[in-house]
Structure 1
Amino acid sequence: MKKIFLVALFIVGAFTSQAQELKWYTDVKEAITISNKENKPMLLFFTGSDWCGWCIRLQNEVLKTPEFTKWASDNVILVELDYPRRTPQAPELKSQNNELQQAFGIQGFPTIYFTSAEAKDGKVNFKGLGQTGYVAGGPSAWLAVADGIVHPKKS
């Protein structure tokens, strides 16, 4: 009986952890469609996933935490724009990411840019909401900054 209970608990736990898995888009056009459909801004994460120490630190201290998972699923559509040095990338993805790096004037990693966008006549118009990067103090400090950008107080 005890074994059946443990197996059932394990199966429920596996499904629960999968439900908490965040969807990070890499195709910006797809993310724009979802963003507009769900009426949520996009969080564009400009990262060097396999070489940037601050990017890896931001991932571990904030982006992979339960607090961030809950906040992100309620507030934003996640987009990862990666600039790896060792990990192979499809030419289309590399081209898209380079164009976005130029469009947003990204000069350092990690940079997180909050934006909404609309595609019109084959062109994308972005409306910037704000940006941040690594913030010391763990998820609560980072989320306070992000929340201030996504939900600015009206004066």
Structure 2
Amino acid sequence: MKTFKTISLTGIILMICFSLSAQKIYNPQADAKSDIETAIVKAKKEGKHILIQVGGNWCPWCIKMHRYLYSDNAINELLEQNYVFLELNYSKENKNLEVLKSLDYPQRFGFPVMVVLNAEGERLHTQNTGNLEKDKAYDFDKVKSFLYNWRPDALNPEYYK
């Protein structure tokens, strides 16, 4: 009976691990243009900027960035308070070339790449995420600095008088 419980528990753990690893972050069928338009409406309403992470499910660093943004409390809080966040797919199924053209070709920096838009949908900054790395991970101070320096308050002229 003890062996049966151990085997059952191991099987359940393996199924959970498999389902989590099979989880897709990017949706190749998503309408990126519509998603950005929806984000603009939300950003205007909430007084936030829009942060777009361009990448794909094929990209290990894209998955790492997604997990990093949600796993570190300080980073996630900065993200949630200042940005409407969306992930824009780039894959062989859907490269979203027209949308990327409208964002001034951020894919030139590789993947993932971050694009910051203001609440009007105007591109403010494109961030090469390679500059946010340290060794084989993302660097807390670099990611925090990026998010902090492109938040709406950072670009408010009233703070610089």
1:133 aligns with 2:141: no
Partner of 2:43: 35
- Of 116, 133, 136, 2:118 maps to 116
Q: Could you list the runs of 5+ residues in structure 2 that have no partner in the other structure?
A: 1-29
The aligned amino acid for 2:38 is E
Offset of residue 52 of structure 1: 1.5
How many angstroms apart in 2 are the aligned matches of 1:46 and 1:68?
18
CA RMSD of aligned residues (A): 2.6
**Larger proportion of helix:** 2
Query: Deviation string for 1:71-109 (max 9, x for gaps)?
Result: 111111112101244xx7xxxxx48x3322111112221
Offset of residue 142 of structure 1: 0.5
Partner of 1:99: 98
How many angstroms apart in 2 are the aligned matches of 1:130 and 1:154?
20
> Is the 1:41–1:75 Cα contact (8 Å) retained in structure 2?
yes
Question: Which structure is larger by alpha-carbon Rg, 1 or 2?
Answer: 2
Q: Could you list the runs of 5+ residues in structure 1 that have no partner in the other structure?
A: 1-24, 89-93, 119-125
How many angstroms apart in 1 are the aligned matches of 2:73 and 2:85?
15
Kindly tell me the number of residue pairs found equivalent between the two proteins. Answer: 115
Query: Deviation string for 1:39-83 (max 9, x for gaps)?
Result: 1110011111x2113212322334442222211111111121012
> Is the 2:39–2:50 Cα contact (8 Å) retained in structure 1?
yes
> Is the 2:78–2:147 Cα contact (8 Å) retained in structure 1?
no
Offset of residue 117 of structure 1: 4.4
How many angstroms apart in 1 are the aligned matches of 2:116 and 2:54?
11
> Is the 1:47–1:81 Cα contact (8 Å) retained in structure 2?
yes
